[in-house]
Structure 1
Amino acid sequence: MIIWAGEQSIFQIGHGHSLRGVWGGTSRRWDCRPFRPSILFAGVRANSKEVAPVEDVFVTDKDAVALPVWPVRSGDVQTWCDAHAGAGAAWVGTAGFTGEAGRVLMLPDESGSLAGALLGLGKADDPFIFAALSENLPEGTYRLAGMEGLDASQAALGWALGTYSYSKYKPRDRDLPKLVLPEDVDLGELTGIADAVFLTRDLVNTPTNDLGPAELETAVRQVADEFGASCSVITGDDLLAQNYPMVHAVGRAAVESAAPRLMDFTWGDEAAPKVTLVGKGVCFDTGGLNLKPGNSMALMKKDMGGAAHVLALAQLIMRANLNMRLRVLIPAVENAVAGNAFRPGDVLPSRKGLSVEIANTDAEGRLILADALAEADGEEPDLLIDMATLTGAARVALGPDLPPFYTHDDVFAAALSEASQQSADPLWRMPLWPAYDGWLSSKIADVNHISDGGFAGSITAALFLARFVEKAKTFVHFDVFAWAPRAKPGRPVGGEAQGIRALFVYLKKTYGHR
């Protein structure tokens, strides 16, 4: 394992996955019933308690009978008590409630029945804090009170995200509370965003025995079909015939049912601005012949996190009917070990025509991305985005919660950073530092896929990918972790969507609706 170069390292819990299922849904407009993916197991659909549509946890009748919930900052608890003198205020003191972030305090009435609740906001603004309500309140209907100065849309999104449960193998064990939808909150857009997050999580959480390349193809086709997108797939040795040699090389050691493939779908008006999404779909990563140790392989089901991200973002774009010609490219493989696996020291051809020296087979994701990016670049898109669970170096630099992105476009970077702040979806720009490009030199090929030193692994991976993009007006690479290693309100341990909410805010503002 090369910590500084591998697609995953001992510092980063792996990637990979596999979905043997079908995603269903309807709606192409925000005012329609939202699409909520559900998975079929052996032909049996999970029941509604296990996979509750997001809109079902909201009540649109503003006059519905509901218990009040007050969000309270840590410095405002006494102010709330002064305004609500009585048994409730006394109970706040007895319970030792100080407004700490994420704490939910149930308020009893004189008979001991539930009369309402308080939510501690702490000192900082974190919309995910509102997820603590849907995670902790008992079944019933509630409404937010005292929301002055707070973002009701973000609070409602937090509530929605707190209802997520990965229940494909272990059913949900409780009924969910409901929230009266706050005024001026767009339920269609809210549920669209939540559904996209849930789709990402579901795909990343699904183990590879149920989500290999073939099952990922099924998921891609279902999303494409829902919105009338034109989808094509190149599989197995046809990848060689159609000049995707690195996708083929990385995936050829897998069993036939998990053969490598490239999914490609387009949607929208051909005359509209071209936006192309490319997602890394390594459904499981053993490391190849540079085999990972067991602890580094444990979560390699999530190595298709990039594919999950771009598919969910595409779903969100199509549901919102944004004014663009969208293209999605997802190379899907398993990086397996067999006699025909690609080897350290091999020199591979690429779709772009560059020869690529292989120094470590555990840096495979950038290889399949490079072929897909070269194809995408040929159309000269206005915006070309790739998302990938690519390097452990990104986690060492920024940790699991702050994905880096790389681009030469300063205007785009500034606008995306603003969207990141607006959506509370953290991102951090990192440099495509040209002085490090020489670290990818090879004595026998046009380029080595990893650097020859132990530094800046995420930067050099981005520089490698940039070599395969020349014509796109703006190119941006995201190195996401796609996993929450610790539970927080609205973010259970497991697969996580990173950056797609910020990207959607940017895309909606830039391209608008059709």
Structure 2
Amino acid sequence: MNHQSHYADTGSHALPLHLLDRDGYGAWRSAQPAAVSAWLDAQEFQPAPGSVALLPGEDGLLGAVVGIGDPLDPCSYAHAPTALPPGAWVPAAELPAGQQAALQLGWGLGSYRFDRYKNPPRTPARLRLATLDGEALDLLHATMRVRDWVNTPTQDMGPQQLEAIARELAAEHGAHIEVVAGESLLAHNFPAIHAVGRASHRAPRLIELRWGEQTHPHVVLVGKGVCFDTGGLDIKPADGMRNMKKDMGGAAHALALAGLVMAQKLPVRLSVLVPAVENAIGPDAFRPGEVIATRAGVSVEIDNTDAEGRVVLCDALTYAGEQKPALIVDFATLTGAARIALGPDLPALFANDDALAASWIAAGEQTRDPVWRLPLWRPYLRYLTSHVADLANAGSRMAGAVTAALYLERFVPGGTPWAHLDTYAWNDSSRPGRPVGGEALGLRSAWAMLKARYL
């Protein structure tokens, strides 16, 4: 989908759009002609968030009133593109820069439809602005990428398609890419990634993208790329497997954020690592009770094959740490426990650095893309005890999101700032700006955190 198609050319005819919250509605209404006031009274219109009233004129529409909530929340405006008739609309009053950027982004979020396999029912209304904010356009593009990639079913989004996406990003921005696939993973010492993906007919791989100047701070983004998760031999029930095309949502976030970093030319040296696998069932599937090797030399007993995301991530995190970066950030659709604790809208943030966590939380408040910190409570490492290996990949239903994060932390070098985001990457139902299906959760705030840290 062309993300600029949601915006009208500056020379096109557009109807006025009155963007009003409850506080500003009274003064605006009192300044309107009697016919407009009578029309609004007849409808008993109130400018509640998500409301729209069309204003008729003698020759057709005179304009529209759109009720909004928080003026800096993009989703405050996201109902408008489908609630308004198709055509171009322009804000009736000049807006502060921050509000206009939120309007622009929200308009694009509300216009999104996944149309790869099905035509959308109607064309959204378009927004006309005197100038379009370049950063807001790039944020919209990154969000749409996450949504499109997560929404794409597994037959069209396997490990090789994730590789193709990374190659397209590299070509677009002049980045370098290397891929280690299949049996070569063992030769290059990525045994855990190989173990999880070896049963699939689609070869597992580690995708590495590199971009930026050597003199800039080195940031490594890691994304869980499990393109489908059956649960392995510890097979998921049908309802738990239904949406597992989304289990590469962490990779989608990492790759989309990388595209944003490169498009905005953030002065960092960027690496992106995506362990891309399918957790399949077959004669060579890894089994409960197996002890597998890892790049770090830590032996891991497989307590549950459905706790596979942390297993592929541990090799990638070890490799990231070997490069002694200034920062490691990983994204993963890792645990149902995080959803039980925080619900679908709040990604769980874990960090080994308080300043890093605080900056991401502050960025979430600023961008209206919140994250919520959970503790790396190290006494819970006891739940990952193995009697035959250095570590178990699971072992208790207690504090599942915390123990998963503790498992990952075991593979991050001490002293290296690291943040882990356990994100849902999905909307279970549709709301304005948040259509059912794949979603970028924590992406905008991650960008704001990186920008504050390195710009």
Q: Distance in 2 between matches of 1:77 and 1:507?
A: 37
SS at match of 2:272: strand
Q: Distance in 1 between matches of 2:130 and 2:109?
A: 16
Match of 2:103 in 1: 155
Q: Distance in 1 between matches of 2:4 and 2:452?
A: 24
SS at match of 2:232: coil
Which residue identity does 1:210 align to in structure 2?
Answer: D
CA shift, 1:77, in A, is 3.6
Q: Distance in 1 between matches of 2:122 and 2:114?
A: 13
SS at match of 2:370: coil
Match of 2:146 in 1: 200
Could you tell me which of 38, 50, 53 is aligned with 1:102?
Answer: 50
> For the structure 1 residues 211 and 90, does the alpha-carbon distance in structure 2 shift closer, same or farther, using more than 3 Å as the test?
same
CA contact (8 A) 1:306 1:387 kept: yes
CA shift, 1:317, in A, is 0.3
Which residue identity does 2:63 align to in structure 1?
Answer: G
Q: Distance in 2 between matches of 1:68 and 1:240?
A: 62
Match of 1:295 in 2: 239
Match of 1:57 in 2: 6
TM-score by length of 1: 0.85
Which deviates further from its counterpart, 195-204 or 156-165? 156-165
CA contact (8 A) 1:157 1:190 kept: yes
Q: Distance in 1 between matches of 2:6 and 2:442?
A: 24
Match of 1:89 in 2: 37
Q: Distance in 1 between matches of 2:211 and 2:29?
A: 54
Q: Distance in 2 between matches of 1:224 and 1:472?
A: 30
CA contact (8 A) 1:87 1:109 kept: no
CA contact (8 A) 2:73 2:367 kept: no
User: What's the Cα RMSD here?
Assistant: 1.7
Match of 2:227 in 1: 283
CA shift, 1:308, in A, is 0.3
CA contact (8 A) 2:71 2:102 kept: no
Q: Distance in 1 between matches of 2:38 and 2:291?
A: 73
Which deviates further from its counterpart, 479-488 or 407-416? 407-416
Match of 1:241 in 2: 187
Which residue identity does 2:188 align to in structure 1?
Answer: Q
Match of 2:178 in 1: 232
Q: CA offsets per residue over residues 347-385 of structure 1, 9 Å max, x none?
A: 111000000011110000000000000001101110100
Could you tell me which of 122, 129, 148 is aligned with 1:174?
Answer: 122
CA contact (8 A) 1:142 1:180 kept: yes
> For the structure 1 residues 173 and 454, does the alpha-carbon distance in structure 2 shift closer, same or farther, using more than 3 Å as the test?
closer
CA shift, 1:64, in A, is 5.1
Q: CA offsets per residue over residues 194-223 of structure 1, 9 Å max, x none?
A: 000000000000000111111111111111
SS at match of 2:213: coil
> For the structure 1 residues 408 and 471, does the alpha-carbon distance in structure 2 shift closer, same or farther, using more than 3 Å as the test?
closer
Tell me if 1:453 matches 2:415. Answer: no
Match of 2:250 in 1: 306
Superposition map of 1:318-337 within 5 A: 318-337=262-281
Which residue identity does 1:194 align to in structure 2?
Answer: L
Q: Distance in 1 between matches of 2:421 and 2:69?
A: 31
CA shift, 1:412, in A, is 1.2
Could you tell me which of 412, 424, 429 is aligned with 1:469?
Answer: 412
Q: Distance in 2 between matches of 1:148 and 1:87?
A: 26
SS at match of 1:277: strand
CA shift, 1:67, in A, is 1.1
Question: Paired residues, what number?
Answer: 454
Larger relative CO (CA 8 A, sep 6+): 1 or 2? 1
Tell me if 1:265 matches 2:214. Answer: no
TM-score by length of 2: 0.96
Q: Distance in 1 between matches of 2:352 and 2:318?
A: 18
SS at match of 2:445: helix
Match of 2:159 in 1: 213
> For the structure 1 residues 123 and 281, does the alpha-carbon distance in structure 2 shift closer, same or farther, using more than 3 Å as the test?
closer
Q: Distance in 1 between matches of 2:95 and 2:161?
A: 46
CA contact (8 A) 1:274 1:326 kept: yes
Q: Distance in 2 between matches of 1:308 and 1:197?
A: 10
SS at match of 1:172: coil
Unpaired stretches in structure 2, ≥5 consecutive residues? none
CA contact (8 A) 1:70 1:145 kept: yes
Unpaired stretches in structure 1, ≥5 consecutive residues? 1-50
CA shift, 1:105, in A, is 1.6
Match of 2:290 in 1: 346
Tell me if 1:119 matches 2:66. Answer: yes
Match of 1:426 in 2: 370
Match of 1:35 in 2: none
CA contact (8 A) 2:254 2:331 kept: yes
CA contact (8 A) 1:71 1:147 kept: no
SS at match of 1:131: coil
Between the two proteins, what is the percent identity of the paired residues? 46
SS at match of 1:81: helix
